[in-house]
């Protein structure tokens, strides 16, 4: 028979190891949340603020999935499927962002035609 004290303490030690790791990951998540709020107050140009914010959110989501959902310790097949899903998510999120940027550029050019002026004047009006 095995000694009951060794079987009872082994899971407790394993839990304590993970508890310290969870606190570290929680601290990193808190810092990344502060970074997200800071990026939102900096008022970066339109696509860059959004891209940085989504990047930080992606890192936070990855940390939560890897450690709190225990995916870090799963089989490699699950990692491959999750990477494929994450890549598809990036592609699907990028499509409306790029479309919106293109529409804003076209709208800006139609509202501000002087921006497109090359400085060349045609006709009799020479300055």
Please state whether the predicted TM-score (pTM) of the whole model is above 0.75: no
Which residues are CB-contacts of 35 (< 8 A; sequence separation ≥ 6)? 56
Give the CB-side neighbour count of residue 101, counting CA atoms within 13 A. Answer: 13
Q: What per-residue confidence (pLDDT) applies to 71?
A: 77
What's residue 109's pLDDT?
Answer: 67
Q: Which pLDDT score, from 0 to 100, does residue 127 have? A: 52
pLDDT tens, the chain, 127 aa long: 455 554 444 555 555 678 889 999 999 999 999 999 999 888 888 778 888 988 999 899 989 988 888 877 778 888 788 889 989 998 998 898 888 888 877 776 677 666 555 555 555 555 5
The residue written with tokens 């030690």 in the block is 13
């Amino acid at each position: 028979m095995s000694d009951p004290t060794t079987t009872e303490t082994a899971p407790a030690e394993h839990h304590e190891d993970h508890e310290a790791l969870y606190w570290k990951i929680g601290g990193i998540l808190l810092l990344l949340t502060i970074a997200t709020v800071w990026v939102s107050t900096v008022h970066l140009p339109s696509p860059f603020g959004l891209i940085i914010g989504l990047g930080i959110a992606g890192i936070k989501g990855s940390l939560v999935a890897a450690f709190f959902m225990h995916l870090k310790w799963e089989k490699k097949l699950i990692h491959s499927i999750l990477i494929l899903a994450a890549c598809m998510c990036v592609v699907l999120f990028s499509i409306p962002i790029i479309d919106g940027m293109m529409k804003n550029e076209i709208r800006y050019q139609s509202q501000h035609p002087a921006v497109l002026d090359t400085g060349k004047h045609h006709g009799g009006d020479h300055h």
